[in-house]
Amino acid sequence: MRVATRPSLLSLDDALAQLLASASSLGCTESVSTFDADGRMLAEDVVSELQVPAFDNSSMDGYAVRSSQASWTLPCRLRVPAGHSPSALPEGEAARIFTGAPIPFGADAVVMQEDCTDLGLVDGVPTIRINVVPAKAQWIRRAGEDVECGAVVLARGTRLSPAELGLAASVGMANLKVAAKPRVALFSTGDELVMPGSVAPADMKAGSIYNSNRYFLRALLVRMGCEVTDLGIVPDDLAATKQALSNAAAEHDLILTSGGVSVGEEDHIKPAVQALGELHLWQIAMKPGKPFAFGRVDKTHFVGLPGNPVSSLVTFLLLVRPLLLQMQDTSNMALQAMPPATLLRADFDVPRADKRREFLRVRRNVDGGLDLFPNQSSGVLTSAVWGDGLVDNAAGQTIQRGDMVSYLSFAEFLK
């Protein structure tokens, strides 16, 4: 009698390497308004055609003066608002100046208004007294101290966030050339799934659950700069699953599903994908998120995530996110698949080592350490809401309170 053997588990690093080796950049670019470029992948360097600031200017409301003044009771006839070109500062005088206004010729320091006294009219002339002798260059922002003319301010391959959009705008970029959005078809499988709003909690049938995966996966895809087609819930039926996959493959770059990637009688993703293309069913040595499916439907990439919500979330961050970054990458640079980790102190114990590489939901505490969510089950989505990141714990590794552990911030995954 032949005894069936379980397939060996694939390491996360090997799974990721195989996944990325099978995919490449879509190679398509488009020009979009800088207003609409958040989350997109920059397809060419942004080179500044000017220096920022364009001129020496004041970083304070106050008075522009010569730092070598012999007397600090000064007439103040010149007024310099932002957006105006001032005349030169006369010898022995001060100029009223406002934040962002150009420094008048002859001035080499600004004294903030809190360090001055307005003496009113003295012999019919507006006069001030400087109470704190200024240092040369005090409160002056120098031309070009932020950006030099000709500098690359944003490199090709940068994933744009609000700060990058502001920087692009500061050098006059109304539009940016970015990688085209990956077109992603998203659907869930399972007769047990119900959409929020379609059935009240009190009326839920036994065995039914609300479809939470659809919401966070769609949100993650949008944040990753994707164009998402939400195909809803596909019933547990082979013909319906094949039809959904075939329709999705015609107009998308990636099909992403959750659930239905096991080998049960009602799990139809496997035979449907195999009938239309090719499928690799991986058992990955990670927790949560062991079951993972990858392949193609015709020429379209297919990824099947596990149905448990935390497993689906973690496998998206660790495997789908790098895939989407590579599909948008036009820089030909080495992809950093995992965001940078930080070594932090564990303020908890994990006395039993797991055979798989674990990703534990944790939260930073006020003492600079990490707290562990008490229930690490792959179905407990509250752990991901409570937590602000993951501890990447090697297979076979226990954790004792006080150990330094590798922390991955959820915020870094979403940059």
Query: What's the pLDDT score for residue 3?
Result: 46
> What mean pLDDT is predicted for residues 229-235?
86
Task: Give the tokens for residue 287.
Answer: 């927790």
Whether pLDDT at 265 is above 50 = no
User: Is residue 179 within 8 Å of residue 41, measured between CB atoms?
Assistant: yes
Higher pLDDT, 138 or 27: 138
Burial of residue 278, with CB atoms counted within 10 A of its CB: 0-12 exposed, 13-18 middle, 19 or more buried: exposed
Q: Taking the model in full, what pTM does it have?
A: 0.82
Strands (DSSP E) along 273-313, which ranges? 277-283, 286-287, 291-297, 300-305
**Rounded distance, CA 120 to CA 385, Å?**
59
pLDDT at 101 over 60: yes
Sign of CA dihedral 204, 290, 259, 15: positive
The stretch 129-149 carries a mean pLDDT of 94
Whole-number mean pLDDT of the chain?
Answer: 91
d(CA 259, CA 266): 11
* pLDDT recorded at residue 307: 85
Q: What do you get for the CA distance between the two ends of the chain, in Å?
A: 54
**160 falls in which pLDDT band (50, 70, 90)?**
very high
Dihedral sign (CA 121, 125, 126, 128): negative
Q: What is the pLDDT of residue 200?
A: 86
Please say whether the beta carbons of 254 and 224 come within 8 A: no
* pLDDT (average), residues 129-152: 94
- Report the distance separating Cα 205 and Cα 198, nearest Å: 12
Q: What is the pLDDT of residues 340-367, one digit of tens each?
A: 999 999 999 999 999 999 999 999 999 9
- pLDDT tens digit sequence for 306-317: 888 999 999 999
Sketch out the chain's domains with CATH numbers.
Answer: 12-27+181-328 (3.40.980.10), 30-51+145-179 (3.90.105.10), 57-141 (2.170.190.11), 342-413 (2.40.340.10)
Alpha carbon 143 to chain centroid, angstroms: 31
Cβ within 8 Å of residue 1, ≥6 positions away: none
Q: What CA–CA distance (Å, rounded) separates 86 from 95?
A: 10
Read off the pLDDT band of 4 (50, 70, 90).
very low
* pLDDT of 259 above 80: no
How far is it, in rounded angstroms, from Cα 111 to Cα 99?
12
Stretch 203-224: mean pLDDT: 88
Would the pLDDT of 334 be above 60?
A: no
- Compute the radius of gyration of the chain from its Cα atoms: 30
Per-residue pLDDT, averaged over 240-253, amounts to: 92
Which amino acid is it at 58? S
- List of residues 6+ apart from 336 with CB closer than 8 A: none
Q: Beta-carbon neighbour count of residue 35 at 10 Å?
A: 11
> Which of 272, 328, 323 has the alpha carbon at shortest distance from 301?
323
User: What integer pLDDT is reported at residue 57 of this predicted model?
Assistant: 96
Q: Which of 392, 393, 398 is nearest to 350 (CA)?
A: 398
The whole-number pLDDT of residue 238 equals 86
Q: Mean pLDDT lowest for which of 166-175, 214-223, 264-273, 397-406? A: 264-273
Q: Residues 53-62: pLDDT tens digits?
A: 999 999 999 9
* The pLDDT value given to residue 263: 52
- pLDDT > 70: what percent of the chain? 95
pLDDT at 360: 98
Confidence of residue 5 (pLDDT cuts 50, 70, 90): low
